[in-house]
Structure 1
Amino acid sequence: MAGLAEVDSDSPSAPALGRSRSPRAWLTVEPVLFLTMLALALQGPLSTQYIFQRVSAELGFNGSRSRGCNSSGGAEAQLEQAVEAMTSHWNLYINLGGFAVGLFSVTLLGPWSDRVGRKPILILPSIGLSLQAAIYLIVMYQKLPISYFLIGRLLSGLLGDFNTILAGCFSYIADISDKQSRTFRVAVLEACLGIAGMFGSIIGGQWSKAQGYISPFWLVLALNLATVAYAFTFVQESVTVKEASKLFTTKHYRSVYQLYSSRQETGRRYRLCLYALSLFVVVTVHFGVKDILIIFELSSPLCWQSDLIGYGSAVEHLTYLSSLLGLKVMQLCLEDSWIAEIGLVSNVAGLVIFSVAATSSVMFSGYGVRFLAMATTPVIRAKLSKLADVTEQGALFASVACVESACSLASTVIFSSLYPATLYFMKGFAFLFGAAMLVIPMGIIGTLGWGERERPYSQFEDGPRGSTVAIDAGSTVAIDADSSSNQNEQICQDVSD
């Protein structure tokens, strides 16, 4: 009987690949993502409230916004609706402008980082976000037209925007982690998003209430500048063997296309596409639910005030942390695919409870049931990362960033349209629709996960791409160095003469 061990191409024994493996470095790009998300969590509500204030002044609306079940009537109500509509339109124009430009830049910068290193795509977008915050401050101080906000957004998009930082951080973790730790390291990054969002919501709400919108924006600028300083000073480059590469070339776009069109490994292309589709559905539902939750809680029968809405938002962001802890525990006895399925079940159950919630206790029960809802996305990201070569991580996560950008648009179109259209027969129908959508990734991940359990035993016939292992007296057989089989599974096979 001979043991059969997989040779991991992204292990420290493969220095020619030019990737730095540092499993013990548990603090690397996490502060970059935390600081950036904290700045965005502050910036989003503050800029929206500032636009609302400016539009109100322009249209002559001096009243206060309706809260809960107390709605105004007559001409005042119509004027308030006009202010809300114009504010929404400005947000849409600004976000669409940033999305269009960012889609171009992230697919350029992500693959470029596979050759020149990750630090540039952490620093450049942070500079862009700093310039955006500076322009926003100038507009606020000088009371320039709101359209000048679009200049800052476009400038940030040209330098990569937040999605490029996401791609850079996840690519960096893929560079420095082995397959045993990658899923958890990705989940830590996801948790940084949630914790930063929670702190940003609390700080921004209290500070703007006390001192208005301009003072907190200085913190936004400071956080973005701190991100630039940290990335430049403390982040060690993970791509140790760099190549000279032009930035403005179609080669980077072709590398993203080739990632999903290459036939170099049996089944890799369709698995990449299916996992990307699963991520698209999960993130679309996540964004869509967030878009309608506050409206659902403000109106009858819940009629929540700002304090309860704040508590609900805090619990929602804590889902990132509880999912991280749950994932770490479940990895001791379950494969990643099962963890993703449990996360989806938790998400579906919570959305079903939301759909029938008529009291605060039921609503908070829905939040509680969803405590593992964010365990799915880090598993999908890790699955995608393990399917790509170590020299393709930048291209991979650039494409993932594009998928998530498309999710933000799709969620707005689907859920913001569906919610008002279904109020007349079921107020919570949009939540049920989201739960039904999650059945799609549930089926995909389950099917692929089952196939991956059998895959290691059939790889000897697939003719793979990579490494060799010894069997008995020197016989060798090729295996896939980037197999997506679960990191906790040990493969053993009896070889008979």
Structure 2
Amino acid sequence: MKKFLLVEPVVAVYSFASFLSFPLIQQYVYRRLWEQVNNSSFINGLNISHCEINESHPIYIKQKEVQQRASLFSMLVDLSGLIPSLLVALILVVYSDRQGRKAALLLPSIGAFVSSSFCFAMSYFSLTLYLLFASSLISGFLGSFATFLGGCFSYIADLCNEEKQKTIRIALIDMLLGLGGGLAGLSSGYFLREIGFAWTFLIISLLHFLNIGYIIFCLEDTVKVSASQQQAFNIEHFKEIIFAVFMFFKTSSCRKRTVIILMLSAFIAYFFANLGGSSVFIFFELDSPLCWDEVLIGWGSSLSTLLFLSSFVGVYLFSCYLRDAYIVLIGIISWISGIIMAAFATTTQTMFLVRLPLLFSAMPLPVLRSMMSKVVLANEQGALFACIACLESLMGTVALIVFNSIYAATVMWYPGFCFLLAAGLSVLPFCIVWTIFYVKGIASDIRSYEKKSHLIHRFFPTLRQKVPGLHAVV
């Protein structure tokens, strides 16, 4: 069978299936906890949310209790898969430099298939919610989302030699993630209303199964490994992998190491603020005064399609005229303005309009990935993206824990506090990127001065002796 160097179909299917499951799990947990707290079934009428807005009503207090319990339960589920996902992401993505990228794509897809199958069984047979912890653990031990992303970006880095092409292809992957998430968000409410939780989870499982088949039989690996190079995984390979990221930083020059650390700091800081602020959107929309139902939540989530699509167009156009640092700064400003607007949204119309200032908010992450990838060598791509994947997995889980905890603590007096916190934290990556740009400009001036001085010393050795102040002018 002919194989293809196209990882984009894998990203599209995986992102759609995964992002379709995220809001469903949150709403399923919310409804099950609602039934436990109120001893009654969760009933939704057409375009009517099961939401009380009268603060003096007893249901309002129970509603807030459900909000708190749901956010804390989600936090614990995310935490359960953290440690295994960190270790597996480090091993698989670094190991892919030698043995191929497909393992870093295949194992997370199998984990997602098993996880969605668990969700199907839980919802169909009304099993305990604690089954989600087993699902999270299995997904973590098979790599989870961070390993999948690390494998995808390493795959793209192998294919691209030109800097602009690499930026655009990485932005394309992020756009596909956004498109998948947007379409999943748009359809999640209709899936839920028409066929319910169980059969929707079954469809998600089938999508992951098809993706596994494509990876095994249709996707060609970018790392060519001969039969003599294929070796069984042993303890020596494990030690090499563990120390690969450490050696990657140790053997780099001081300037290269400093630039990578600054870029990583900016990437993680923005990722933390962006993911944390976005993670409480559904709970915020379910709560009063918005009181959205599942269809409105689906429409709101689907608008992320426009955000990633507009961000990809922005990267494509801005990269023709602006440096990468400027593109990142524009994206951070877009995020800060939009999330501040969300903090004060009290009507459905305003909450939909929040997405307008967020149009370029997805640009910083792919551009920062591309900037880091351009700094390292071809045989260091796996180590770099393994480092990014581990930090993403760690900080992503920490962000979910922190923001869900803060939301649970502040929902009674000001639900929009998390959004203001995310905006404030986003100032840090803005300052870091500005510092990188400033330092890079100084370094460029120094290199230019050194080049000019070298030319003068080489071609006009007597001129410098006759005009002692010439070197200072140059």
TM normalised by structure 2 equals 0.82
CA RMSD of aligned residues (A): 3.1
Whether the aligned pair in 2 keeps the contact of 1:68 and 1:298 (CA below 8 Å) is: no
Q: Which residue of 2 aligns with 1:30?
A: 8
Does the Cα contact within 8 Å between 2:11 and 2:176 map onto a contact in 1?
yes
Q: Would the aligned equivalents of 1:112 and 1:247 in 2 still touch at CA under 8 Å?
A: no
Match of 2:368 in 1: 380
One-letter amino acid of the structure 2 residue matched with residue 350 of structure 1:
G
Change over 3 Å in CA distance of 1:145–1:337 after alignment to 2: same
Instruction: Indicate conservation of the 8 Å contact 1:36/1:224, yes or no.
Output: yes
Q: Given the alignment, which residue of 403, 411, 419 partners 1:415?
A: 403
Q: Is the 8 A contact 2:71 2:404 kept in 1?
A: no
Q: Secondary structure at the match of 1:371?
A: coil
Aligned partner of 2:107 among 124, 129, 132? 124
1:251 aligns with 2:251: no
1:103 aligned onto 2:91: no
Residue 212 (1) aligns with residue 212 (2): no
Unaligned runs of 5+ in 1: 1-24, 463-470, 472-497
State the AA in 2 paired with 1:146: L
Change (3 A) 1:304 1:193: same
Q: CA contact under 8 A between 1:108 and 1:247: conserved in structure 2?
A: no
What fraction of aligned residue pairs are identical, expressed as a percent? 29
Q: Within 5 A, what are the aligned runs for 1:110-189?
A: 110-178=93-161, 179-189=163-173
Residue 292 of structure 1 deviates from its aligned partner by 3.0
**CA–CA separation in structure 1 for the residues paired with 2:282 and 2:117:** 29
> Which of 384, 400, 407 is matched with 1:396 structurally?
384
* Counterpart code for 1:408: G
Cα shift at 1:451: 3.2
TM-score (norm 1): 0.79
Q: Corresponding residue for 2:185? A: 201
Query: Partner amino acid for 2:430?
Result: M
Could you tell me whether the CA contact under 8 Å between 2:105 and 2:215 is conserved in 1?
A: yes
Match of 2:45 in 1: none
Report how far residue 364 of structure 1 moved: 3.8
The answer as to whether partners of 1:106 and 1:402 remain within 8 angstroms in 2 is yes
Q: CA deviation at 1:431?
A: 2.7
Aligned residue for 2:164, secondary structure, equals: coil
User: Shift in Å at residue 148 of structure 1?
Assistant: 3.1
Contact 1:170 1:397 in 2 (8 A): yes
1:9 aligned residue: none
Structure 1 residues 384-410: Cα deviation after superposition (integer angstroms, max 9, x where no partner) = 112222112122112212222223233
Q: Any idea what the Cα deviations from partners look like across 1:263-294, whole Å, max 9, x if unmatched?
A: 43231112221111111111111112213334
How many angstroms does 1:306 deviate by? 4.9
- Distance (Å, rounded) in 2 between the aligned partners of 1:350 and 1:90: 28
Q: Which residue does the alignment assign to 2:215?
A: 231
CA contact (8 A) 1:68 1:305 kept: no
Equivalence for 1:93 = 76
Are the counterparts in 1 of residues 75 and 400 from structure 2 also a CA contact under 8 Å? Answer: no
Deviation digits for residues 94-139 of structure 1 (CA, Å, limit 9, x no counterpart): 3222222111111111111111010121112212222222333334
SS at match of 1:332: coil
Closer/same/farther in 2, CA of residues 371 and 77 from structure 1, 3 Å limit: closer
Report the counterpart of residue 282 of structure 1 in structure 2: 270
Q: 3-state DSSP class of the match of 1:181?
A: helix
Deviates more, 1:169-178 or 1:442-451: 442-451
**Would you tell me which structure has more helix in proportion to its own residues?**
2
Report deviation, 1:305: 5.2
Tell me which amino acid in the other structure corresponds to 2:243: R
Mapped contact 2:55–2:61 kept (Cα < 8 A)? no
Q: Which amino acid aligns with 2:219?
A: V
Question: 2:458 corresponds to which residue?
Answer: none
Cα distance, 1:443–1:52 mapped onto 2, change above 3 Å: closer
Q: Report the alpha carbon displacement of residue 257 of structure 1 after superposing the two structures with TM.
A: 2.0
Residue 162 of structure 1, CA deviation: 1.8
Change (3 A) 1:420 1:103: closer
Structure 2 portions without partners, runs of 5+: 43-48, 456-474
> 1:39, 1:132 → 2: CA distance?
11
What do the CA deviations read for 1:206-262 (whole angstroms, capped 9, x no partner)?
A: 1111121111111111111111111122222111256445265122111122223x2
What is the 5 A alignment of 1:67-78? Answer: 67=51, 69=53, 73-74=57-58
Deviations 1:425-467 (A, max 9, x none): 86644333322222211121122123334546756999xxxxx
Q: Is the 8 A contact 1:69 1:298 kept in 2?
A: no
Rate the CA distance shift 1:316–1:433 in 2: closer, same or farther, 3 A. Answer: same
CA contact (8 A) 1:61 1:79 kept: no
Q: How many residues align?
A: 437
Residue 345 of structure 1 deviates from its aligned partner by: 1.5
Deviations 1:407-433 (A, max 9, x none): 323323443344565678866443333
> How far, CA to CA, are the matches of 1:258 and 1:157 in structure 2?
26
The one-letter code of the counterpart of 1:254 is F
CA deviations on 1:62-97 (whole Å, 9 max, x unpaired) are 1437426256843x5566555555544443333222
- Residue of structure 2 equivalent to 1:293: 281
2:437 is the alignment partner of 1:449: yes
Name which of structure 1's ranges 325-334 and 418-427 shifts more when overlaid on structure 2: 418-427
1:44 maps to what in 2? 22
Which has the higher mean CA deviation after the structures are superposed, 239-248 or 331-340? 239-248
Is the 1:111–1:255 contact (alpha carbons within 8 Å) kept by the matching residues of 2? yes
Q: Residue 155 of structure 1 aligns to a residue in which SS?
A: helix
8 A contact 1:352–1:432 mirrored in 2: yes
